[in-house]
Structure 1
Amino acid sequence: MNGMHFICDPLEIERKSFEIIDSHIPAGKFGSKELWVLKRVIHATADFDYVETLRISHDAIDAGINAFKKGVTIVTDTKMVAAGINKKALNKWGCNVKCYIDDPDVVSYAKNNCITRSMAAMIKAVEEPDNRVFAIGNAPTALYQLVELVKNRKARPELIIGVPVGFVGATESKELLKALDIPYITIEGRKGGSTIAAAIVNALLYMA
């Protein structure tokens, strides 16, 4: 290939990737658990901006690990987040993932009430007691609705991973999340996405 050399061993690729990531993160800025989450986010995105914008509440990582060890259900706002979560790690703890976006009740409720399906999905999801962890990577309206449900005492998740991406409502929904007394992991600003939400879930599952 024009004299270029590519590393083809998957383990060596991962090792080299984390070596490069480590060289760009200021020493001592993060605790070991927070650093592991950050490195997984950067590994999934190749974006070092997250060194400055990742926000983790003081009890969020332990809350997530403890929840997974109890075999909870993780609710996602998109199928992309669900697809990116490591199934082997999920099965180890007896956890599972649900995404309600295509549920017929959700589709009908959203249409009848003139709201997004992402919002309707959160309204339905909080009705099930096993849904204890929420990972929102795409829809700011989903995070906004979940925040409102918590504020109105209709939901009490053990952890909210709120990293929706976008230009309309993404930044604002994350600021609302940070004002709750619920353990959270978020990204400040417009950046985020399904890949990041899945990476954070996986980082916690691996630590568990």
Structure 2
Amino acid sequence: MTHNTPVELDSACTPQDIESRSFAIIDEELPSPRPFEGPLWQVARRCIHTLGDTEIINDLRLSAAGLEAGVVALMRGCTVYTDTRMAAAGLPMRRLTPLGVTVTPIMALPGLDELARAGGTTRSRAGLESLAQQMSGHIMVIGNAPTALLGLLDVLEQGAPPPALIVGMPVGFVNAAQSKELLHRTSWPHFTLLGRKGGSAVAAACVNALADLALEQRGLGDIAKL
């Protein structure tokens, strides 16, 4: 079967052009008034762009307190802890290095195998327990496993000092929605995406949006456009 109807392509070709055009399309499809405005809209729009799904606007849970806490932490040169190397890979250091920020995947922490065996638990849970007294002032990013988010909540409920911001967006059909609902019921600063959708890429997108805001406040906004 042949198709003679021409396919109209967008003229945007460079990465910067494609991103700008994508953001403009999102702005057009979700005009004001929106659930989020100003800097929070910058975070929400980047999440929508990453997933290619405007419908997530109804399930995003972003707070001004979480945004402020995240930007301040980044400007202080915090560590961003991620549940997977995939989430870490979604955080380009060109954005973070000028802020003095480092990225550490929890699964890359030394001695996890021994800690997990000794405690009869998973490597991710062992990693969270090993970080229990080191999270304060830093950002925790969980975009893959609901068990990691549930483990983090458990560690915090046991009295560990909370991180500056929790980005909890695990994806899947088993306990993903439940773990995010439990996170959203807490008073700790957090961003989440209710329901089954999520993933490492959208969790990383939140931090990238916050990094752009932090760079702008430092007068380094041009770095975010590279």
Q: TM-score, normalised by structure 1?
A: 0.92
In structure 2, the partner of 1:27 is 32
Equivalent AA in structure 1 for residue 58 of structure 2: E
Q: How far apart are 1:12 and its partner, in Å?
A: 2.1
Equivalent AA in structure 1 for residue 107 of structure 2: I
Distance 1:200 1:129 in 2: 18
User: Does 2:93 align with 1:87?
Assistant: yes
For residue 19 of structure 2, the aligned residue among 14, 20, 31 is 14
Q: How far apart are 1:130 and its partner, in Å?
A: 6.5
Q: Which runs of 5+ in 1 are unaligned?
A: none
In structure 2, the partner of 1:138 is 144
Assess, with a 3 A threshold, how the Cα gap between structure 1 residues 49 and 6 changes in structure 2: closer, same or farther: closer
User: Does 2:52 align with 1:46?
Assistant: yes
Distance 1:91 1:58 in 2: 25
Q: How far apart are 1:129 and its partner, in Å?
A: 5.4
In structure 2, the partner of 1:166 is 172
Q: How far apart are 1:120 and its partner, in Å?
A: 1.7
* CA radius of gyration, larger in: 2
Moved more, 182-191 or 117-126: 117-126
Equivalent AA in structure 2 for residue 28 of structure 1: P
Deviating beyond 3 angstroms after TM superposition, the runs of 4 or more aligned structure 1 residues are 2-7, 111-114
Q: Which runs of 5+ in 2 are unaligned?
A: 215-226
In structure 1, the partner of 2:130 is 124
RMSD: 1.9
- Contact between 1:134 and 1:160, CA under 8 Å: does it hold in 2? yes
In structure 1, the partner of 2:223 is none
For residue 188 of structure 2, the aligned residue among 142, 167, 182 is 182
Q: How far apart are 1:113 and its partner, in Å?
A: 3.4
Distance 1:139 1:152 in 2: 20
Instruction: Please show how residues 61-76 of structure 1 align to structure 2 within 5 Å.
Output: 61-76=67-82
Distance 1:120 1:131 in 2: 20
Distance 1:104 1:95 in 2: 20
Partner secondary structure for residue 161 of structure 2:
coil
Distance 2:51 2:57 in 1: 12
